[in-house]
């Protein structure tokens, strides 16, 4: 019995679960090409004519008024696409859907889930609204209802309220801090703060972001003072302070959880896209699980798993990989493209060995194959690859990506070589690129193209059984260079969603300075002429 879970907030998504297995997951933005799109129409068209015994839907804040609107709109969209159902179930606990997405895929029998984002459901206690949830801590196990341990909310007047075992006053979500300073520093996205922070230092001119007199630190933002100080303080020093203090606050939460409840900890919510901070948490406890789809796009996964478990009694099965997008048959589209006939691009024969040689020769190669990855990370099915040995790799790839100069690039390493090159602080693997880790000292000079200014790199570890073609490319590169690592970034341009369709590949090779896009399934590649 299939369950369809739908997220109707920003990062709109839908996911299908059957008998505990995640069968399918896709974000709206991959289809519409609108970043963080909240419209579901195009998503529904991918399931035209399907029947689901159970459809669950959620949003970041399902007020009564909003629920009525979203329900009516969803019914209309489903009818338009000839999608039928037996039960249509709204779910109004945003943070719990994050919990389920993380916990059900952690492999833990029981765990404490810490959720931090920029806002969730309006939470009510004894008939009184406390405001929108910012931070939640829940205890989860398979045989009991979720137990609320702590919750921090903010009301429409900007006043904070906490409830549960721990108490705090005027504390702001670290996710909100990043969102606020993204705007005042005029940066493109929250991740820009993380990237720029590595170039900064402790600067006495930067006042504390938080007043540390409170358990979890009160907000201490004075924007008049900030504007004056920004004249004489580099932005990177502000970013350093934001990254450092926010990480310290979350470490307080994790430390309390470990002391009171043990080491099985699941982390989800938008804040935990901060892979630099995640590494600091990993140093505290190697038994931490970071939800690889921790932003709102993952809530449809959590909801679908939860409904399948409580209604169908199917225990969720931990997924082995994130390749859960649509299945495409692109061969005819590749051969019959109008762009080919107009002689704007040419098609060449290619294989994994040739791609490895192209990378050694400092060519920028996109790889497009199979089903797209869930979440924000490219993991070898929708990726741009480059030579990590090249010290100018970032400059070359930035010409393609059009990203900010200070943003570092990630790497993928063959699993069996991981510990020789990187320090995973007790973890055997990081297949979902959840952590920015230290590069081993004797390897720093061997991969300058992906080694950040602080000698770190965000890493995906790769086993052959998870992605055969991608593994073989890196293995061939290793044979000719002695380096079992490749630069891996998302197949897109800055500010745009990851490429989903083969038509998007044609657009990218014409619009960017990428050298090739490789299609392993067809042993062919395209390049512009």
What is the predicted pLDDT for the residue at 16?
Answer: 97
Residues 416 and 460 in one domain: yes
The residue segments making up the domain with residue 39 are 2-95+299-312
Residues 277 and 366 in one domain: no
Task: Kindly state the tokens that stand for 155.
Answer: 């009301």
**Confidence bin at 340 (pLDDT 50/70/90):** confident
Q: Which residue has the higher pLDDT, 528 or 168?
A: 528
Last residue of a domain, one of 260, 290, 320: 290
Residues 211 and 83 in one domain: no
> To the nearest whole percent, how much of the chain has pLDDT over 70?
96
- CATH for 194: 3.30.420.40
What is the predicted pLDDT for the residue at 219?
Answer: 61
Residues 246 and 305 in one domain: no
**Confidence bin at 263 (pLDDT 50/70/90):** very high
Task: Kindly state the tokens that stand for 418.
Answer: 């991981």
What is the predicted pLDDT for the residue at 221?
Answer: 62
What is the predicted pLDDT for the residue at 485?
Answer: 98
Evaluate whether 215 touches 252 at the Cβ level (below 8 Å).
Answer: yes
**Confidence bin at 190 (pLDDT 50/70/90):** confident
pLDDT at 210 over 90: no
- CATH for 398: 3.90.870.20
Mean pLDDT, rounded, for 346-355:
96
Domain assignment present for residue 457? The answer is yes
341 CB neighbour count, 10 Å cutoff: 8
Evaluate whether 53 touches 4 at the Cβ level (below 8 Å).
Answer: no
Residues 366 and 506 in one domain: yes
What is the predicted pLDDT for the residue at 53?
Answer: 97
Burial 95-123 (b: 16+ CB within 10 A, else e): bbbbbbbbbbbbebeebbbbbbbbbbbbb
Domain assignment present for residue 318? The answer is no
Residues 468 and 382 in one domain: yes
What is the predicted pLDDT for the residue at 222?
Answer: 62
Residues 201 and 256 in one domain: yes
In this predicted structure, which of 223-237, 282-296, 411-425, 500-514 has the lowest mean pLDDT? 223-237
- Provide the 8-state DSSP code for 416: G
Residues 149 and 251 in one domain: yes
What is the predicted pLDDT for the residue at 220?
Answer: 60
Mean pLDDT, rounded, for 477-501:
95
Task: Kindly state the tokens that stand for 277.
Answer: 């901070």
43 phi/psi in degrees, rounded to 5: -60, -45
Domain assignment present for residue 35? The answer is yes
**Confidence bin at 119 (pLDDT 50/70/90):** confident
- CATH for 53: 3.30.420
Domain assignment present for residue 403? The answer is yes
Sequence-distant (≥ 6) Cβ neighbours of residue 461 within 8 angstroms: 412, 413, 414, 415, 418, 424, 429, 430, 431
Domain count, the chain: 3
Residues 354 and 265 in one domain: no
Q: What's the whole-number average pLDDT of the chain?
A: 91
pLDDT at 218 over 60: no
Residues 367 and 413 in one domain: yes
In this predicted structure, which of 43-47, 364-368, 409-413, 495-499 has the lowest mean pLDDT? 43-47
Domain assignment present for residue 321? The answer is no
349 CB neighbour count, 10 Å cutoff: 9
Residues 90 and 167 in one domain: no
pLDDT at 20 over 60: yes
Q: Which residue has the higher pLDDT, 237 or 227?
A: 237
Domain assignment present for residue 323? The answer is no
What is the predicted pLDDT for the residue at 451?
Answer: 97
What is the predicted pLDDT for the residue at 130?
Answer: 80
Q: What's the maximum distance between 2 C-alpha atoms anywhere in the chain?
A: 68
Domain assignment present for residue 319? The answer is no
pLDDT at 217 over 90: no
Q: What is the pLDDT of residues 131-174, one digit of tens each?
A: 889 999 999 999 899 999 999 888 876 777 888 888 766 667 88
Q: What is the pLDDT of residues 86-111, one digit of tens each?
A: 999 999 999 999 999 999 999 999 99
Beta bridge partners of 459: 411
Residues 133 and 264 in one domain: yes
Domain assignment present for residue 251? The answer is yes
pLDDT at 479 over 80: yes
């Amino acid at each position: 019995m299939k369950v369809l879970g739908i997220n109707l907030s920003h990062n709109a998504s839908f996911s299908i679960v059957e008998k505990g297995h995640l069968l399918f997951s896709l974000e709206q933005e991959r289809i519409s090409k609108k970043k963080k799109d909240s419209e579901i129409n195009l998503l529904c068209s991918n399931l035209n004519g399907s029947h689901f015994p159970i459809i669950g839907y959620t949003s970041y804040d399902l007020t009564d008024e909003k629920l009525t609107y979203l329900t009516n709109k969803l019914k209309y969209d489903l009818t338009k696409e000839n999608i039928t159902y037996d039960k249509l179930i709204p779910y109004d606990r945003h943070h719990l859907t994050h919990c389920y997405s993380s916990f059900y895929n952690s492999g833990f029998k029981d765990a404490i889930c810490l959720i931090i984002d920029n806002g969730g459901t309006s939470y009510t206690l004894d008939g009184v609204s406390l405001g929108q949830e910012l931070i939640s801590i829940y205890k989860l196990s398979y045989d009991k209802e979720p137990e609320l341990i702590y919750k921090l909310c903010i009301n429409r007047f900007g006043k904070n309220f906490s409830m549960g075992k721990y108490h705090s006053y005027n504390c702001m979500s670290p996710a909100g801090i990043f969102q606020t300073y993204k705007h005042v520093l005029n940066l493109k996205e929250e991740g820009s703060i993380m990237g720029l922070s590595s170039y900064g230092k402790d600067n006495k001119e930067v006042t504390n972001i938080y007043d540390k007199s409170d358990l979890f630190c009160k907000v201490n933002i004075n924007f008049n003072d900030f504007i004056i100080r920004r004249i004489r303080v580099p932005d990177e020093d502000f970013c350093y302070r934001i990254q450092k203090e926010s990480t310290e606050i979350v470490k307080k939460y994790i430390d309390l959880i470990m002391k009171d409840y043990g080491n099985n900890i699941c982390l989800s919510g938008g804040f935990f896209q901060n892979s630099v901070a995640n590494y600091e948490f990993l140093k505290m406890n190697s038994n931490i699980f970071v939800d690889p789809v921790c932003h709102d796009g993952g809530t449809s996964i959590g909801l679908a798993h939860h409904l399948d478990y409580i209604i169908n009694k199917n225990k969720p099965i931990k997924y082995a990989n994130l390749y859960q997008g649509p299945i495409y048959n692109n061969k005819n589209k590749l051969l019959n493209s109008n762009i080919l006939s107009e002689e704007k691009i040419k098609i060449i024969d290619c294989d994994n060995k040739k791609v490895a040689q192209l990378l050694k020769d400092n060519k920028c190669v996109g790889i497009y194959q199979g089903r797209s990855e869930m979440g924000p990370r490219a993991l070898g099915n929708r990726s741009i690859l480059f030579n990590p040995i090249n010290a100018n790799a970032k400059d070359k790839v930035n010409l393609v990506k059009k990203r900010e100069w200070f943003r570092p690039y990630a790497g993928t390493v063959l699993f069996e070589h991981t510990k020789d090159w990187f320090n995973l602080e007790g973890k055997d693997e990081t297949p979902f690129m959840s952590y920015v880790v230290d590069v081993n000292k004797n390897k720093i000079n061997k991969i300058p193209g992906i080694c950040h200014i602080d000698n770190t790199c965000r890493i995906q570890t790769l086993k052959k059984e998870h992605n055969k073609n991608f593994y073989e490319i890196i293995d061939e590169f290793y044979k000719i260079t002695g380096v079992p690592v490749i630069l891996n970034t998302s197949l897109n341009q800055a500010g745009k969603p990851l490429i989903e369709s083969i038509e998007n590949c044609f657009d990218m090779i014409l619009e960017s300075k990428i050298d090739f896009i490789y299609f392993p399934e067809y042993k062919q590649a395209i390049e512009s002429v």
